[in-house]
Amino acid sequence: MKTYLTPVKDIERKWLIVDAQDKVLGRLASEIATRLRGKHKANYCTFLDVGDFVVVVNADKVRLTGKKWDDKVYRHHTGFMGGLKEKTAKVLLAQKPEDLLRKAVRGMLPKNTLGRNQLKKLKVYAGADHPHAAQQPESVEL
């Protein structure tokens, strides 16, 4: 018996909307990563992008447990000597609240071309408004 493989033209992608208000960052990010990859579907395949589009609103009201607001540090290097830049979670939330959730989800996706394409299907907004009303997203409680 052969394994069924869904053709790319037959993949159904839904638009889901998630409210991040008072949700724990890591638990929310793992559920979003599962939806982006398509692991909740019966036709999931490791090398195909069968996931859904996810719109996250109220990303500025996400929650962290413990002392992570001050202890969790996001680092990146500019490429120049002494160019290591650090920001705590509290500072990142104040400057770019969308990046806090996007970085958490990105760490849970594959580190290859497939993962980068799956991350493009994630739309994060700090407030309650979003420009994707034409896609008629379904509200999902994660």
- Domain membership of residue 76 (yes or no) is no
- Domain membership of residue 134 (yes or no) is yes
What average pLDDT score do residues 102-112 get? 97
Residue ranges making up the domain that contains 107: 8-64+98-139
- Domain membership of residue 69 (yes or no) is no
What local confidence, expressed as pLDDT, does residue 1 receive? 80
Q: What is the pLDDT of residues 56-67, one digit of tens each?
A: 999 999 999 999
- Domain membership of residue 14 (yes or no) is yes
What average pLDDT score do residues 67-85 get? 97
Q: What is the pLDDT of residues 5-45, one digit of tens each?
A: 889 899 999 999 999 999 999 999 999 999 999 999 999 99
Mean pLDDT of the chain: 96
Q: Which of 60, 34, 18, 61 is nearest to 118 (CA)?
A: 34
- Domain membership of residue 36 (yes or no) is yes
The CATH code of the domain that includes 41 is 3.90.1180.10
pTM of the model: 0.94
What local confidence, expressed as pLDDT, does residue 2 receive? 84
- Domain membership of residue 35 (yes or no) is yes
Domain count, the chain: 1
> For residue 20, how many other CB atoms are within 10 A of its CB?
25
What local confidence, expressed as pLDDT, does residue 28 receive? 98
64: left (phi over 0), alpha (psi -120 to 50) or beta: beta
Model confidence at 132: pLDDT above 90 = yes
- Domain membership of residue 42 (yes or no) is yes
